[in-house]
Amino acid sequence: MSSADAETQRKIVNRLKRAQGQLGAVIAAVESGGDCRAVVTQLAAVTSALDKAGFQIIASAMKECLTDPEAEAEAEAETATDTGGVSMAELERLFLSLA
């Protein structure tokens, strides 16, 4: 995530902070015995916000790989213990884990 441009990273962080606030509201509603329908609706909003943030993170990484194919080739060649770039195969797995 460190290689994402500043604007994309700002948008992702804002989305995650919004989800954090929504989750806090869900927790408070559950603790206070809030209306089931309202709790589920708010929980759905949290889930959607997290999914969108995850897709945006993956899309950003894919964009980087597509604009820098040499970095993609290097990431494919790195060992499992290296914490370098993300390979396209790993991006595919991450993307599918969100589906």
Give the model confidence (pLDDT) of 55-77 as tens digits: 888 888 777 766 766 655 565 55
Q: From 84, 80, 92, select the one nearest 2 (Cα to Cα).
A: 84
The pLDDT value recorded for residue 80 is 43
Instruction: Tell me if residue 34 falls in helix, strand or coil.
Output: coil
The pLDDT value recorded for residue 76 is 56
Round to whole Å and give the CA distance between 66 and 62.
6
Mean pLDDT of 20-42: 94
pTM of the model: 0.66
Q: From 89, 22, 33, select the one nearest 62 (Cα to Cα).
A: 89
Round to whole Å and give the CA distance between 97 and 99.
6
Instruction: Give residue 23's region: left, alpha or beta (phi > 0; psi -120 to 50).
Output: alpha
92 phi, psi to nearest 5 deg? -60, -45
Asked whether residue 83 carries a pLDDT value surpassing 70, the answer given is no
Q: Please tell me which residue, 31 or 55, carries the higher pLDDT value.
A: 31
Mean pLDDT of 32-44: 94
